[in-house]
């Protein structure tokens, strides 16, 4: 697998990675309180198994997935990130574009950071893939590249012959995966080997690294020692997209409504791979992750290994907060979203925090009418027609927008980046998707209400019919048999017709004597 292809579209971006890429990974300070949302991934939230006042240890399960066989479900358990006391289980603001609250477990740390007893697996090759997959699920591991898809669900597909480890960190500013590849290449290679064992021994295993990360490439190449293939891929946004990376490496285009597993491939993120290594070889669940803290609102941009649940304010202060931070973004500048404040916790999908000072924020440029230049279509990596989607969305013709494959949009932002009219195209697409989803939910609610009404009518008619039948049966049972009545009447008549000989007197004989 040495030949490379190029996907359609994409753009070259200024990386701005030098702000933090040369700083080794440091540990974030232990906060006084940890705020742990029950849902930090795609799927079903976990259910608390602790109560307020409970003492917990680092790594202890505090919320279990909503089924005993969670390794088969779209859910993972949640672990305490440090030792301490549960002081609240209540709604709290969480990092999400909606700005809504979610149920969280709040732990007041005790400063000892005391672990539970861990059970590392010395030789994972002696265990079955099912056992290892369950180990991954119980460790609470999800995709740490930002998607948050439960990792164990990507390890059960049969017929997988190619494993791809995604080291294409294509968003500007983000350097956490780069530092992990440079500092922990052995862990990543071993994690890939564990993946291969779980997948039944994939024929191909490739770690893809962008060509603007020569140090990471060299470190992985040295650690691989021929066990896995390390490949340089061109630095072009959004190469880190799952389908785009597959296209670059294999030339195969994953079509609409198709999955990589349909083509015998599976893709995992760099940090996810290391998390699997730690879960198996060290027996430790996912209770921390590396976060890039950067931007010109930070005195010392760097990469920190942060305990999940740590308030963002704590790590920004640790990196040196400049006064007057105007904007705080979680994720990259292309696909990330603005946070309302810094009193939110770090969660499993928090890979980057960009704090920008007032001077760095450009005033939004006034939008102008679309001139139909077609530049948006030229850079779209999924072959959409962004211009048409914009028009249909603006006209609120969501049905037609959906027919133009609106939901294939990965919201990479390439179209808005090149738009000469400064149209916030991605915002339009997100609006259209939200409206379609809302309409779909309303339609489902209406269908559900109609079904309930129809069933209620059916149930009332059925009960009425059954009641009538019971009454008729009871009435029939209470009436005497007609035949019996007739026979009784006949008997009475017959009885009246029979003469009473005992009462007749022998009148003639008495008169003769």
Asked whether the beta carbons of 77 and 41 are under 8 A apart, the reply is: no
Quick one: pLDDT at residue 363?
62
pLDDT at 18: 92
Burial degree of 510 (CB within 10 A; 0-12, 13-18, 19+): exposed
Q: Where are the domains of the chain?
A: 26-326, 369-469
Query: Sign (positive/negative) of CA torsion 484, 486, 490, 493?
Result: positive
Quote the pLDDT of residue 398.
Answer: 93
Residue 483's pLDDT is: 77
Flag whether 380 is marked binding: yes
Answer for the pair 187, 117: CB distance below 8 angstroms, yes or no.
no
User: CB–CB of 198/221 below 8 Å?
Assistant: no
Structure tokens at 28: 């974030």
- Tokens 């059954």 correspond to 466
Q: What is the mean pLDDT of each run of 10 residues along the chain (513 residues)?
A: 84 92 95 95 89 96 78 82 97 86 95 94 92 92 88 84 94 96 97 94 91 96 93 94 93 84 93 96 96 94 97 95 87 90 94 83 78 94 93 94 92 93 92 91 91 93 93 80 80 76 51 44
* Helical spans, DSSP H, in 312-424: 312-319, 375-379, 386-394, 398-403, 414-418
Whole-angstrom distance, CA of residue 229 vs CA of residue 165 = 10
Residue 475, pLDDT score: 83
Tell me how long the chain is: 513
Task: Indicate the pTM of the whole model.
Answer: 0.83
Report strand pairing: 352-357 vs 288-294: parallel
Give me the torsion for CA of 207, 78, 75, 152, rounded to 10°.
Answer: 30
Collapsed DSSP state (helix, strand, coil) of residue 125: helix
* Strand-pair partners of 142: 150
Tell whether 412 is in a known binding site: yes
Fold of 26-326: Rossmann fold (3.40.50)
Residue 352 marked ligand-binding? no
* pLDDT score at 513: 43
Could you tell me if 46 and 75 are in contact, meaning their C-beta atoms sit under 8 angstroms apart?
yes
Other CB atoms within 10 Å distance of the CB of residue 417: 17
Cβ contact 428:370 at 8 Å: no
The first and second tokens of residue 339, run together, are: 């946070």
Instruction: Decide: 306 and 366 in contact? Cβ < 8 Å.
Output: no
Q: Confirm or deny that 104 is annotated as ligand binding.
A: no
Q: Which residues contact 156 (CB under 8 A, 6 or more apart)?
A: 133
């Amino acid at each position: 697998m040495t030949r490379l292809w190029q996907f359609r579209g994409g753009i070259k971006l200024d990386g701005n990675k030098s702000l933090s890429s040369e700083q080794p990974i440091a540990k974030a300070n232990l906060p006084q309180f940890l705020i742990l949302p029950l849902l930090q991934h795609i799927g079903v939230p976990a259910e608390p198994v602790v109560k307020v006042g409970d003492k917990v240890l680092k790594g202890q399960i505090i919320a279990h997935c909503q089924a005993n066989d969670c390794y088969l479900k779209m859910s993972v358990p949640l672990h305490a990130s440090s030792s301490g006391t549960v002081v609240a289980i209540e709604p709290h603001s969480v990092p999400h574009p909606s700005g809504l609250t979610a149920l969280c477990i709040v732990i007041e740390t005790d400063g000892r950071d005391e672990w539970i007893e861990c059970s590392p697996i010395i030789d994972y090759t002696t265990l079955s893939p099912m056992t290892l997959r369950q180990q991954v699920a119980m460790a609470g591991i999800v995709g740490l590249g930002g998607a948050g898809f439960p990792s164990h669900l990507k390890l059960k597909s049969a017929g997988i012959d190619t494993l791809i480890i995604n080291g294409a960190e294509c968003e500007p500013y983000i350097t956490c995966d780069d530092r992990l590849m440079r500092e922990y290449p052995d862990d990543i290679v071993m994690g890939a080997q564990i993946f291969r064992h779980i997948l039944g021994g994939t024929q191909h295993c490739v770690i893809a690294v962008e060509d603007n990360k020569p140090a990471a490439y060299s470190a992985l190449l040295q650690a691989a020692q021929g066990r896995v293939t390390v490949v340089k891929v061109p630095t072009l946004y959004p190469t880190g997209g799952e389908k785009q990376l597959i296209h670059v490496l294999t030339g195969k285009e994953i079509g609409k409504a198709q999955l990589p597993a349909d083509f015998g491939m599976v893709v995992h993120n760099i940090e996810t791979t290391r998390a699997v290594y730690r879960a198996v070889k060290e027996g430790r669940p996912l209770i921390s992750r590396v976060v890039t803290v950067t931007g010109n609102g930070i005195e010392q941009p760097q990469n920190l290994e942060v305990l999940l649940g740590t308030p963002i304010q704590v790590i920004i202060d640790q990196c040196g907060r400049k006064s007057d931070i105007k904007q705080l973004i979680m994720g990259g500048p292309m696909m990330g979203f603005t946070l309302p404040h810094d009193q939110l916790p770090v969660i499993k999908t928090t890979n980057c925090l960009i704090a920008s000072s007032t001077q760095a924020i450009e005033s939004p440029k006034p939008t102008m009418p679309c001139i139909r230049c077609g530049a948006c279509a030229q850079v779209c990596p999924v072959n959409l027609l962004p211009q048409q989607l914009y028009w249909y969305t603006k006209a609120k013709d969501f049905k037609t927008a959906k027919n133009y494959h609106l939901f294939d949009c990965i919201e990479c932002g390439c179209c808005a980046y090149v738009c000469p009219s400064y149209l916030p195209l991605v915002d339009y697409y997100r609006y259209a998707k939200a409206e379609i989803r809302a309409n779909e939910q309303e339609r489902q609610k209406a269908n559900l209400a109609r079904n309930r009404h129809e069933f209620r009518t059916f149930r009332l008619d059925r009960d009425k019919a059954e009641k009538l039948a019971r009454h008729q049966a009871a009435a029939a049972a209470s009436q005497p048999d007609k035949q019996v009545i007739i026979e009784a009447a006949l008997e009475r008549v017959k009885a009246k017709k029979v003469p009473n000989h005992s009462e007749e007197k022998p009148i003639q004989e008495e008169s003769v004597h």
